[in-house]
Chains A and B, each alone.
Chain A
Amino acid sequence: MIAAIQAWFQQLYETTGFNVTVFYDPYDWDRYVAGLRMTLLLGISTILLSLVIGAVGALLQSGPSRLLRALVNGFVVVFRNTPPLVQIFFFYFGLGTLLPDLRSADGLRAPILTNVQWAIIALSLFAGAFNIEIFRSGIEAVPRTTVEAAEALGYTRFKAYRHIVLPLALRVCLPALNNNLINLLKTTTLAYAIAVPETLYAVKQIWSESQNVLEMMLVLLATYAVLVGVLVWIMHRWERALRIPGYGR
């Protein structure tokens, strides 16, 4: 089966000159799959981290401490209004070089956080800032009386948030959340700039060695179309599963 596909693409190249190396050259294929895996790692970890940041930030933003509220607000404003690429550079080059180095076993300098980890941190913070806003607007849709009822049942503020407010708010703001998470998946390409070997990076390596820019561009477009499509599908499934009966149109 695989051999047949490879033979077909090889033949396509020989007859038409349409050179999609990834589908018949195992070396290119491995690089492409490794890139795809890195994109998935970046995507999944940043989505989960940014959701946590959003939930915690929204809790702090409605909390009693004025200092914390001001801090969260400042964080949201700054991260929403600056370019994500500059944020990544600021974190990776700016903060990364200020942190002390570790020595690896053979005496080489090894940074505490690798470029992949910095990319995950920077992208999560960027998307988290948007998520805080989205969660907050969801929390505002939860009626005051519901929270009061929870208080009357003896819930603490945190417990009420975790068990009552957040589950309701999440369901309410899912459509807006979808948009932001899809945007986040697309923003993971920026990790290319600090040499994280994700899909774009791998594909660029392939096309500079095999001289097939157009073919690999099309593969790249198709890859992202499929990735975004899959995420949209998953989020819609999730939206349906979490639907509140009788709410919404």
Chain B
Amino acid sequence: MSALDPNRPSDLPVLLPFALPKDRPAARLRPAHLWLLAGLALVALPAWAQGGAAALSPLEVVIKWAPLLLTGFAFNVAISLMAMAIGTVAGIGLGLAMLAEGWILPRLAWCVTQVFRNVPWLVLLFFVMFLVPFQITVFGLRVPLPDWVKATFGFSLPVMANVAEIVRGAVRSVPNTQWEAAESLAFTRRQTMWRIILPQCAKRMLPPWMNVYSLIAMATVQASIVGVTEMLTLTAQVHAAEGGRPELFAPLYGFALLCFFLYCYPIDRFTAALERRFETR
């Protein structure tokens, strides 16, 4: 505050440059939240106990079906990991295509990126589910494409576009002098890219890449809308199997929320920690 900051045009107290918070961890869980939850449980539990004389109480239902629901959740995680792997490989290719020299290739890659980034994920999922055939014939060999494979492919499309943007942004953020230095050392363009620029980018790309992963992990539940049997589908089936009692909806979907929260919150914290670490360098 006091000394002259070279990044600021003057040392008068003007509006500070805007950046999403990195130094101070934004919202995070603290012990206070535990007390809040405990208080909520104290209020809610007696209400459950009253209704549960003949039928199972909601808590018992959740515990009874937890193994099945967790299998569904594991399937969600598996889909997200595969979609991320496919999307990352394709996205790096697309990102490099956007940075390529020439006229047609970068423009084409840019159009593809914009389309897949700006269309809702659910629409893309519908697109793949309805327009990709249920089996393909390769060299006379019939390969069946089950629903979940198509869904994985559908999720990898937006991942591809987002990763492409990340790659492009990261490469652009490497100072020009690096390119010039490599050129003066007689590196070709390809060598410069692979041996000098991209290794420096990997570190910058990690936090946004993990953000994308967290988003795709949360998006996999959308597969239930197009008929893939995953956690939300199973939750609805469990609810029907328990007699479709309306008071079971909240605990069952609450359990799904909890699973995703326990999975995504550590990723979120880890991403924030990584960002802070790279920031201070």
Contact = CB atoms under 8 A, between A and B. Distances in A.
9 contacts: A72-B27, A74-B29, A74-B33, A83-B218, A168-B15, A200-B123, A217-B127, A224-B118, A244-B15
Given A76-B27, A133-B26, A187-B120, 18 more contacts: A73-B28, A74-B29, A80-B27, A80-B268, A81-B260, A85-B222, A86-B260, A89-B232, A93-B249, A94-B252, A94-B254, A140-B16, A141-B16, A143-B13, A224-B118, A225-B115, A228-B118, A247-B15
B126 interface: yes
Interface string B1-16: 0000000000001111
Nearest to B125: A189
A76 B25 CA distance: 13
Given A81-B260, A137-B20, A94 B130 contact: no
Contacts of B251: 94
A145 B13 contact: yes
A225 B17 CA distance: 32
Given A70-B30, A74-B29, A200-B126, A90 B119 contact: no
A217 B18 contact: no
Interface of B: 13-21, 26-30, 32-33, 36, 115, 118-123, 126-127, 130-131, 214, 218-222, 224-225, 232, 246-247, 249-254, 256-257, 260-261, 264-265, 268
A142 interface: yes
Nearest to A75: B27
A33 interface: no
A186 B121 contact: yes
B28 A141 contact: no
A150 interface: no
Interface string A171-191: 011011000001000111110
Contacts, number: 169
A78 B261 contact: yes
4 A-B pairs with least C-beta separation: A94-B250, A97-B246, A76-B27, A83-B218
A214 interface: yes
A137 B222 CA distance: 31
Contact of B30 (A73, A80, A81, A220): A73
B32 A193 contact: no
Q: Interface extent on A, as a size class? A: 35 or more
A23 B233 CA distance: 36
A97 B218 contact: no
Contact of B131 (A136, A146, A213): A213
Contact of B253 (A80, A94, A146): A94
Interface in A60-81: 61, 66-67, 70-74, 76-78, 80-81
A89 B257 CA distance: 10
A217 to B, nearest CB: 6
A76 B192 CA distance: 43
A86 B268 CA distance: 18
Given A80-B268, A143-B16, A200-B122, A90 B253 contact: yes
B272 to A, nearest CB: 11
B205 to A, nearest CB: 18
A95 interface: yes
A84 B120 CA distance: 13
